[in-house]
């Protein structure tokens, strides 16, 4: 008797894992698929391992000899192509049935994401509006902790926020890994110092603006050695204080770029002082079916899916 588990129920997580598997095969390995999928190699490895467990099959070999599919992996890959093609056709047919979408989409977003170069949120809202011209989109800019609370209490249908810890009552769609560096302004004494003339110990002694909003323990650890001299409730407030020339502070690289390009800010020892924050779109697991929300989430998935 075959030990293979038949996927009697294909969930959204299965589709995501199969998309990742397809991208890995198409790209020829985990490393090459990183930029295509915009997720880390570790996340890709976990997804493939989860898929292998889900199917009770070894799909590929990866090691010094490189990446290769097993015989079972070849069969699963062909079945994956058929399934994803059928999935796309199903979405197209459903969208044609519901040619006129009417109602509200209530979405909460944390500050300063609009400057991200990969405009998943903007482009997905554009797709949604093209599918339903009469949809009323309501965006509320709120702190990350309030995004989660608002989704859980039903005040908004979906939100975009950093993943600090995962709530078991929420679904997560990974969107971005946001990089942050440590910045000073051109008014700061270290602005004209070459990196080779700076040491971490010198930087630690600078007055620093701390975020008062919630951070993961890993990110919070980056602030421990610094001299806390000010705090701000959001990234825009941190930028205000950095620009005084009196403080240094962490900012997302995409948000700080406009000041860097104008010569108003610089990153200090970016190889030493940096961290990454994952961002996700979140929805409540027990939320009743909602056609407008489903279309928005489908648009997000399509924006991120490898071509």
> Which parts of the chain have pLDDT scores under 70?
1-9, 91-100, 305-307
Alpha helices in 215-290 (DSSP H): 217-220, 235-242, 253-261
What is the rounded CA–CA span in Å between residue 180 and residue 270? Answer: 9
From the centroid of its chain, how far is CA 238?
22
In the prediction, which pLDDT does 182 show? 97
What's the predicted TM-score (pTM) here?
0.64
- What domains lie within the chain, and their CATH numbers? 12-96 (1.10.10.10), 100-169+279-304 (3.40.190.10), 177-276 (3.40.190.10)
**67 neighbors 61 (Cβ within 8 angstroms):** yes
- Stated as kind and residue range, the H or E segment containing 105 is strand 102-109
What is the rounded CA–CA span in Å between residue 150 and residue 144? Answer: 10
- Give strand pairing partners of 208: 228, 248
pLDDT in tens, 137-154: 999 998 888 999 999 988
């Amino acid at each position: 008797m075959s030990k293979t588990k038949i996927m009697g129920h294909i969930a959204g997580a299965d589709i995501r894992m199969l998309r990742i598997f397809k991208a890995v095969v198409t790209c020829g390995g985990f490393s090459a698929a990183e930029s295509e999928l915009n997720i880390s190699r570790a996340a890709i490895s976990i997804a493939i391992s989860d898929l292998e467990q889900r199917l009770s099959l070894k799909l590929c070999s990866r090691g010094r000899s490189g990446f290769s599919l097993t015989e079972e992996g070849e069969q699963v890959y062909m079945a994956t192509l058929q399934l994803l093609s059928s999935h796309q056709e199903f979405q197209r047919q459903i969208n044609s049935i519901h040619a006129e979408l009417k109602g509200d989409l209530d979405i909460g977003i944390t500050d300063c994401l609009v400057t991200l170069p990969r405009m998943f949120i903007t482009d997905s809202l554009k797709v949604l509006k093209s599918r339903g011209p009469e949809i009323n989109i309501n965006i509320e800019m709120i702190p990350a902790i309030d995004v989660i609370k608002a989704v859980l209490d039903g005040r908004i249908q979906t939100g975009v926020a950093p993943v600090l810890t995962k709530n078991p009552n929420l679904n997560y769609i990974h969107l971005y890994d946001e990089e942050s560096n440590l910045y000073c302004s051109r008014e700061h004494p270290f602005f004209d110092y070459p990196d080779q003339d700076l040491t971490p110990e010198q930087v630690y002694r600078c007055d620093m603006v701390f975020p008062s909003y919630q951070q993961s323990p890993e990110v919070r650890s980056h602030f421990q050695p610094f001299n806390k001299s000010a705090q701000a409730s959001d990234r825009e407030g941190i930028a205000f204080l950095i620009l005084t020339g009196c403080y240094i502070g962490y900012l997302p690289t995409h948000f700080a770029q406009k000041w860097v390009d104008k010569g108003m800010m610089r990153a200090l020892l970016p190889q030493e002082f940096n961290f990454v924050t994952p961002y996700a779109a979140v929805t409540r697991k027990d939320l009743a079916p909602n056609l407008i929300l489903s279309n928005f989430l489908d648009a997000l998935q399509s924006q991120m899916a490898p071509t």
